[in-house]
Structure 1
């Protein structure tokens, strides 16, 4: 099933997509509360929405929000190593990777308070002149756990959603120079949606046991990349297991796959100086992510707010 959070004019509701309609559950029920109700809760809620919805709305008459407007946490992996190699080449660096990248799946914590819906406008990060998109998939934890086995950790995932890790590349260069991880470069926006698609919906998209739906990203209608999820060097089972080492994962936690190779503007830089690249996202640009089984997101870039400089001038 495809679970959505939507607003038909009376505040956020949870429901399921059914063709060109949304079949809503009663007011006050959130997707996160359903996930926290335990095993079987999501399936029961879906059946309830299908058989006896509290309301049925035309899809065109509602605003789809992020399926999880405020997840308990968001972690973003980097599981497509060819994406990293492409970024290194764009920055004039060697594409040879340190051995650490083949030892564990890298991830960082992102901002669970900056979630956007699949059709929301996206403000440019404050002070950024090098704003970028990133084509990813987010796995949503359904059953919590700790110290999970990589061979079975995928069973703790309840579903998947498109994930756009909006990035201020100029801020990222400063973050990297500081050496303590991602900061303001990843702070301003994350898109999730249009739906939380339950794992059973993807069985037809498996190849040799791995999830392999096709994914694409486009800017102003021009496709910048196509790829498949089975290109991941680290699969979701390994990523979720590593993330769970020594910590509890909770229902509703979101874990990103990392960027599909070619799925950001940085990988398409065609100038020796990335700051001079002509195709960083600008107000008015429209970014679309799409995937087999996922649907699509479509968002317009709008101006961001100005910044009050620090004493350093930044």
Structure 2
């Protein structure tokens, strides 16, 4: 591909304000695409009410996204209560953005002692790469680093990318955070790393983009209420439309001088107004509500998508690292 063709492609992506709707030939209500386990076998299918219709040929979700669900036949429905929902997709990559100013302000106070929103935040939708290999699904236990005492959830919506850099659909994303680990490691001005990469939850399914199109506001933002509950008690809620950039802008920015491909996942970043505990800690100056602990159950609910629930547990205790080898200045001299 020549430079001119590549530049034209990027310019076309950056001016897109709305996704090309991904239409599925379906009966009313068939818009949720799930990955599930039934009789020891992992399958994908279309959720219709309280039943899921498996796709014929056992395609994984990436194949469904690239082929188009409208071109794949389905079998007889199975009762949802008889299957175990899994993470709807094993992403090719996860870019997690930070698109809510209120979250940035609160977490800066809690994690690194900063104040306000950095001017650089307003320049472009910033993101970091998370770990696609530790994604878990609905009802899975999330194993935090055993030594972490400041455990947190993050309520996000994730866009799932389809062919030609278009948004295929949306799901809920919980970007779990070990805040004490994160705070320490980010003093190196790199990361987050081990404070984040132990787990991320996706689910309960993917809702295709066309289904949520009527819920957009006049500026192209999805007007969805998002709620976070810990042990059944609501600790935060916000509108997804309070994000600073549309998902289409974030996709275009991610693709700039780079590539976005089918199966990539782009997180919205944590919603404000209690979308995570650290934001509340930063605003209140104390750990209230308290950090998550073993046995706590977190449920994230997003209007038009569904609910995602996980239970907090502790992972294995690892041995201490060997001490760092400090540089001997004399060893650099001849």
Cα deviations across residues 220-262 of structure 1 (Å, max 9, x unaligned)? Answer: 1111111111100122111111111111111010000000012
**Distance across 1 between alignment mates of 2:199 and 2:106:** 23
What is the aligned-residue RMSD (CA, Å)? 2.0
Please tell me whether the aligned partners of residues 7 and 13 of structure 1 are also in contact (alpha carbons under 8 angstroms).
yes
**Distance across 1 between alignment mates of 2:289 and 2:32:** 38
- Partner residue of 1:256? 267
- Partner residue of 1:26? 56
- Partner residue of 2:194? 184
Task: Please give the residue correspondences for 1:56-71 in structure 2 after superposition, counting only pairs within 5 Å.
Answer: 56-68=77-89, 70-71=90-91
- Partner residue of 2:174? 164
**Distance across 1 between alignment mates of 2:96 and 2:51:** 32
- Partner residue of 1:266? 278
How far off is 1:312 after superposition? Answer: 3.5
- Partner residue of 2:69? 42
- Partner residue of 1:16? 46
TM-score by length of 1: 0.88
- Alpha-carbon distance change, 183 to 291 in structure 1, aligned in 2, over 3 angstroms: same
**Distance across 2 between alignment mates of 1:225 and 1:244:** 32
**Distance across 2 between alignment mates of 1:210 and 1:202:** 11
- What secondary structure, in the 3-state scheme, does the structure 2 residue paired with 1:83 have? helix
Match of 1:211 among 222, 225, 238: 222
- What secondary structure, in the 3-state scheme, does the structure 2 residue paired with 1:197 have? strand
**Distance across 1 between alignment mates of 2:49 and 2:224:** 20
Please tell me whether the aligned partners of residues 92 and 272 of structure 1 are also in contact (alpha carbons under 8 angstroms).
no
How far off is 1:293 after superposition? Answer: 1.0
How far off is 1:180 after superposition? Answer: 1.6
- Partner residue of 1:111? 131
Please tell me whether the aligned partners of residues 228 and 300 of structure 2 are also in contact (alpha carbons under 8 angstroms).
yes
- What secondary structure, in the 3-state scheme, does the structure 1 residue paired with 2:133 have? coil
Q: How many residues are aligned here?
A: 292
- Alpha-carbon distance change, 270 to 250 in structure 1, aligned in 2, over 3 angstroms: closer
Structure 2 residues without counterparts, runs of 5 or longer: 1-30, 325-334
- Partner residue of 2:13? none
- Alpha-carbon distance change, 13 to 243 in structure 1, aligned in 2, over 3 angstroms: same
Please tell me whether the aligned partners of residues 156 and 267 of structure 2 are also in contact (alpha carbons under 8 angstroms).
yes
- Partner residue of 1:149? none
Please tell me whether the aligned partners of residues 109 and 282 of structure 2 are also in contact (alpha carbons under 8 angstroms).
no
- What secondary structure, in the 3-state scheme, does the structure 2 residue paired with 1:211 have? coil
- Partner residue of 2:37? 7
Match of 2:311 among 280, 296, 300: 300
- What secondary structure, in the 3-state scheme, does the structure 1 residue paired with 2:132 have? coil
How far off is 1:196 after superposition? Answer: 0.6
- What secondary structure, in the 3-state scheme, does the structure 2 residue paired with 1:242 have? helix
